[in-house]
Structure 1
Amino acid sequence: MTVISRRIIAPSLGKSDAALGLAKQLVEQAQQAGVKTRLCKVIMGVDAGQLEMFARFENFQAGTTGFLKMAGSAPVASARAQMESGAVDSISGPYVYRTVFGEPTQQPVMVQRQYQVSRANLQAAIALLPEARAVFGPDTGMTATIPVFAPEMDHLVITYYLNSLEDLGKTLDENAMSPAFQAVVVKAAQYGTLMSARVLVVV
């Protein structure tokens, strides 16, 4: 199991570049505080243009320790204060999730599909994931996470990890559109509803 912390950064209108520069400073300070962190930008789908900061921990104890490190870091506080001075409309989170299938990779492109799944159907939905994973080759990573502390507690987030946007296009054509994967999608509809899909890249 991996614990994932997510912070959402919404740039102010016309200040995307400034927000990105300041967000990178925040990530650098978090990394210097000992927290495994990376910054992503949503480039397609829901929340396009938004920045998201993800931190990864091996368990909840490590997660709370990392939270305290960031909260007690003067450079982190300074970087956040600079962001809030006008370059961003809002910073929300941290929201916390845990993996229920697979482990995150360091690949720079991510496709996320978010399903609304009741707790009664969650285990049945998770049981379909190996079948979905089998459709993709070894160069595509895959995880599934569920919320621990988040606004929507009835969601299952499936993330696919790819090496490039070129790989994304090829994977969509060859795998995601395949009869095998579409059959899994039909089965998944018995247990939940696809709410959103998006593409993120590491920046």
Structure 2
Amino acid sequence: MSYVSIREVTPYRGKDMIIEERLKQVSEIMGKHGAKSVLYKVVAGDGAGRYDLQNWYSSMEEGANSFQSYGADPDYQAIMHKRSIDPVGELNGPWIGRMIHGAPKGIKPVVVHRDYHAPRKAIAKALELAPELDGLMSEIDVEMGMGVSLLNDNHEMLRVVYRFNSMTHWGQSVDKMITDERFVNLVNEAHEVGTLQSSRMLALKS
């Protein structure tokens, strides 16, 4: 099982560079306290322009211990104090999700999210489709996974995640995916499980 804590940060106008630098510092601190911490920027689709700070853990106990540990770090506290007196963006989160299929094997430079509204009773059907989709994606060297909310304001979100080796690899893969009848049929089946509500592309920043 794999868990992720996500902070979504939208910079105020003209504050992108400042907020990116602060988030990189925070990510580095979190990494020293047991988190596999990574910073992405949403470069296309829903939420374009925001930053996603993701902390990955193998268990909730590991995540809870890390949260307490970096929260007590003086360097982390100093950045939080700076944020309180000089805010440069809007923070949403952290919210916590868990991967139900396809935990990440490593950090990929380009990631695509497709978020579906799917009642919990539909998750079993989604998991039935996952191995076939995984197999198709492996043919073009794309990692895929599925995640659901654990602590969030939306507990009927099913997130399908695609992980690419580069922006060029993403473009090449999409060209193949949209012309592959097997993939198109799987997508149509997925729409019977849930309704696609949003999608986005994220590019690695740290």
Question: Which runs of structure 2 are paired with 1:1-203 in the superposition (5 Å)?
Answer: 1-104=1-104, 105-136=106-137, 137=139, 139-203=141-205
Deviation at 1:32, TM superposition (A): 2.1
Q: What 5-or-longer segments of structure 2 have no aligned partner?
A: none
Deviation at 1:155, TM superposition (A): 0.6
Deviation at 1:138, TM superposition (A): 5.9
Q: 1:133 to 1:82 in 2, by over 3 A?
A: same
Deviation at 1:195, TM superposition (A): 0.6
For 1:145, give the aligned amino acid. Answer: G
Q: What 5-or-longer segments of structure 1 have no aligned partner?
A: none
Distance 2:88 2:152 in 1: 21
Asked if the contact 2:15/2:89 (under 8 Å) is kept, the reply is no
Aligned length: 203
Give the superposed CA RMSD.
1.4
For 1:186, give the aligned amino acid. Answer: N
Distance 2:113 2:141 in 1: 17
The Cα offsets for residues 131-157 of structure 1, whole Å up to 9 and x where unpaired, read as 212222262111111100011110111
Deviation at 1:177, TM superposition (A): 3.8
* Matched position secondary structure for 2:192: coil
Q: 1:169 to 1:138 in 2, by over 3 A?
A: closer
The Cα offsets for residues 150-196 of structure 1, whole Å up to 9 and x where unpaired, read as 11110111111111000000000012442111100111111100011
Deviation at 1:87, TM superposition (A): 5.0
Asked if the contact 2:34/2:62 (under 8 Å) is kept, the reply is no
Q: 1:178 to 1:80 in 2, by over 3 A?
A: farther
Asked if the contact 1:22/1:82 (under 8 Å) is kept, the reply is no
Identity within the alignment, %: 26
Distance 2:57 2:188 in 1: 33
After the TM superposition, which parts of structure 1 deviate over 4 Å for at least 4 consecutive aligned residues?
A: none
